[in-house]
Chain A
């Protein structure tokens, strides 16, 4: 219909890894019980937080870089069609092939066709969030093609038949002893005397993958940045597995979300300062590869770029939520989040965990499929403080909570537990007598909380939905108002 813009579709169900099996509170209860996981995460996030703070403090212009990063992203999102077309022509002009994918299914199909066309049954992969998101490995496997993850953490996850739990370090939930066990169990060629020294574990991965790299015919990667002006793609990494995949095979297939663009070559000067310091807490990551189409005599002679939507345009249609697309996947917000640090990434269900996941996943899938995620936060704001492109995550969380309560009410003709609680609170707090009375009824809470000194699940309709996932402090014996009245009589 003319004049009535249709909202673009979210990512389809039944494919990819954006939706968990359980709601966050259920999954979090399970992961919180895993003390080993909590110890591993606590140790790793503490390390990375202090490293990040140190290298960020070295730059006197950090805030100016953040602001430039934010504005570059906002500008790019407002001019996406032009920049995408520019990127496309630049890549084609340099000998690359550009494909467009409406969603995960279409992207997987394109890759499958390309790989089948090469007649190989194995591909090497550079760590990529986009391919995790669309479930590419599962799609390749179903077609009898082995996808070999080459990033150390991805390899640990793949060999451990596990799921990634962090954007940057998918195996952050594993400690060295666990990694050693996985390697001993799953690597056919491993030295049985392998120790759990990180250097020895890295050496085992080197040996395990080396032959595969040297003989691989097809590689699949994501991209950290794409430069519209020049058609240049960039992959930022540490180990050299990225360089192996990007230079040794004859054919390279790169899948990137349409939001990964930056307008010009010069703009990388901002992001190449923001990203390494925010993600691994390094002044610069060990290796960054940049390539434009095909270079004769150097690297893959066939290059395919797949531009992926999969719900991104739906996010773009929400003025208050779309800054989530500005994310450069550094994962600093995960590392500072008190919720993530305790529950770990698996509790979020989606490949995008932590604060950024809590605003990105529900928007990519539609709020109804990840309704619990916007509540998986205490709104403390630490994520906003560290975000290298200044995404106001707490504000978007609140926006998505509102969106959820509205959608829920419309769908169920009933307010959600959160909306009911807020309505009740508004009614009580708008009248001083009701408020005083309600505070005194906190004494009921003393009884409810007498066992654990907190109030857990209360088996009453509506109250149950609120208290299932929220422990409340046991109220004191006397309210402040009663104490004031007792101490000061009628004074005000």
Chain B
């Protein structure tokens, strides 16, 4: 028997020595909350509260002011060069004073790791944001690019659009395709390994800044 056959045979033997309880998948009790009835404004407010609790920087703006807000954030940061995934909306970086480098999905169009290590920051969008936990989820689609982009630079500026905020984990997962490369980000890189106190700043970006874009028509 090869290892695969043997492990499967062992499981069968274990089950026959001690028959497991009969609990069909459909009968699993799911009494927990799947959706919420919070308004979009309330969700945005909760998201901001959670992000700030984990020491992310937060800015709010209207859709019209997005480019200006991105430009201000980078200027405040003093960023000279930033990288963006090449699918990022070009209007977002229209007002940026820093030099903007594009990173593509095909290998020829990608920056090397040391090039990424040399830029001052990265700008991306996100796929979904979870209000309850203060989590941004990136799925590698055009506004987010490949995973290293948001890992190597020390500063990550992430834009959250109004319809991307959901209340909790179940709603977020329902919007995602599992087989895409996914990264869930809740605050800047941190550790609890020294006396179990949370300290920001280990290997990932030490500064996370989030721009929450308001609904059309709201201020």
Contact = CB atoms under 8 A, between A and B. Distances in A.
Contacts, number: 275
A175 B185 CA distance: 28
Contact of B186 (A74, A258, A282): A282
B202 A238 contact: yes
Nearest to A90: B179
Contacts of A198: 194-195, 197, 199
B181 A299 contact: yes
B13 A5 contact: yes
B151 A244 contact: yes
Interface residues of A, number: 107
A239 B18 contact: no
B101 interface: no
Interface residues of B, number: 81
Nearest to B187: A286
A299 B147 CA distance: 7
B77 interface: no
A96 to B, nearest CB: 12
B105 to A, nearest CB: 5
Contact of A100 (B7, B107, B187): B7
Nearest to B154: A206
A424 B171 CA distance: 59
Interface in B154-179: 168-170, 173-174, 178-179
B18 to A, nearest CB: 4
Interface in A258-276: 258, 263-266, 268-270, 272-273, 276
Nearest to A199: B199
A284 interface: yes
Interface of A: 5-9, 40, 43-45, 47-48, 51, 60-61, 64-65, 67-68, 71-72, 74-75, 77-78, 80-81, 84-85, 94, 99-102, 106, 150-153, 156, 169, 171-172, 175-176, 179, 198-199, 201-203, 205-206, 209-210, 213-214, 227, 229-232, 238-241, 243-244, 246-248, 258, 263-266, 268-270, 272-273, 276, 280, 282-293, 295, 297-299, 307, 309, 313-314, 316-319, 322
Given A238-B190, A290-B178, A309-B10, 16 more contacts: A5-B17, A6-B13, A40-B195, A64-B31, A68-B32, A198-B194, A201-B194, A206-B203, A239-B189, A239-B202, A265-B178, A289-B183, A292-B181, A298-B105, A298-B140, A316-B11
